[in-house]
Amino acid sequence: MAHQALWSGRFREPLSEIALNFSSSIDLDRLLYEEDIAGSIAHVEMLAAAKVLTAAEGRRIRTALKTIKKEIESGKAPLTAGTAEDIHMAVEQRLIQKLGPLGGKLHTGRSRNDQIALDERLYLRSAIRDISKLLVNLQRVVLYKAEKYFGVIMPGYTHLQRAQPVMLSHHLLAYIGMLERDFERLQDCRRRLNKSPLGAAALAGTSFPLDRTMVARRLEFDGIVENSIDAVSDRDYLLEFIAACSILMMHLSRFAEELVIWSSTEFGTVHISDAYTTGSSIMPQKKNPDMAELVRGKTGRVYGALISLLTTMKGLPLAYNRDMQEDKLPMFETVQTTRQCVYMFSHLLVHTTFDKNRMAEELRTDFLTATDMADYLVRNGVPFRDAHTITGSVVSYCVGHRMYFGNLDLETLKSFSPVFEADVFKFILPQASIEEKRSAGSTAPDEVKKQIVHWTTVLSKRRV
């Protein structure tokens, strides 16, 4: 059946069913019904204040819009393909059904171009608040683990090769710092997107005496997008949001990767609760870290959303183009995926334990304090480059004789350098290694305590 659109006045033929189904976005943007109706109510109140509508007309339209919202929520006014092209037309059509010609006055002085920009900004503002709350909760979980395992020493890695001893707490706190920058990026994004585009109309503004600032205040925006063309023709606020979420997901993915690796038999330093792992359909012994793997895998969805929208926008002339309708799926995909993954990761981490005994064994059977041995030589007058070479020779000797630093005696060490004395052995213990660190922000226990105190203060005061 042919579709009769609200914009069909200049057309001789109605939009075909094929074209309607191809161009309709109602299946996606129906998720914006709350934002669309909130924007419409603010718009109508402003029209009444500006005398474009009478006070009585404004009240009738506002009441009907609130009723339509309840109808949508209860299912009495289903928003499905074929009912309208998009959420804007669906709400307006329903309003006209209720109020007759008066309902047609809702759209005075605005366009779907500024409507959708408004709806998206309202939606993203709410999404940023939700994700930020989840992000702060995840930081608190990481902080709890850092406090719980304070004093546990683990092998630190570079190139996925054992490097130096570090406190497990120090390693975990590194992720709090990363997540903090993710939080800050989201707040910066919210600040930039929190401007109202409504009143820009299609691109040139309108001849009606609209009070754009009044609408912005009613919707709790910080102001208006000043240029009417800019207001409807860009999606940089959405790109910035997806980019921030992409970086956040990258951090989650790296953390997830470590849990996957550390929970393997080869590492065995992490144990994830049965409630957050799965088994194999064929191998009865398997315990798979699927939740961590899924967080790692879902990161690609958010990356894909970013590339998709960047590609959509890169060649568009000003102002609005229908290509921009394709921004909904990347937006919704990013919000849903990021929200789910941050929430899941918090629960996953709560139900993850770290094996301090296995970590201690890994520290004992390796050469993680080689740098400390070189530093010992430097403190006793040996140039660092020479100390590096000497220590490397000691390591090579141990590898060739299938032994570790703990198996060496002073006589053997002196064969490499006469500078070695008996006190070297206390400097090449993992505990001594971390306690000897002096630089700010290092893995020294006192420095790690400072970090814990800092984040405890920051996160206890944080309100989103």
Q: Which residues are catalytic?
A: 159, 280
Give residue 120's Cα distance to chain centre: 18
Q: Are 206 and 115 in contact (CB under 8 A)?
A: no
* Separation between Cα atoms, residue 103 and residue 6, nearest integer Å: 12
| Tokens 């419409």, located at residue | 40
Contacts for 345 with CB less than 8 Å, ≥ 6 apart: 138, 252, 255, 256, 295
Q: Tokens at residue 274, please?
A: 């049965």
Q: What is the 3 state secondary structure string of 104-115?
A: HHHHCCCCHHHH
Question: Which conformational region is residue 142 in: left (phi greater than 0), alpha (psi within -120 to 50 degrees), or beta?
Answer: alpha
Contacts of 165 by beta carbon, 8 Å cutoff, 6+ apart = 153, 154, 155, 156, 363, 368, 369, 430, 433, 434, 443
CA 128 – CA 99 distance, rounded (Å)? 36
CB 195 within 8 A of CB 216: yes
- Token pair belonging to 60: 């009738």
Closest by Cα among 273, 268, 327, 338 to 300: 338
Q: Counting runs of H as helices and runs of E as strands, what totals does the chain give?
A: 19, 4
The answer to whether the peptide bond before residue 319 is cis (omega within 30 degrees of 0) is yes
At 85, list the tokens: 């092209």
The number of CA neighbours under 13 Å toward the Cβ of 148 is 14
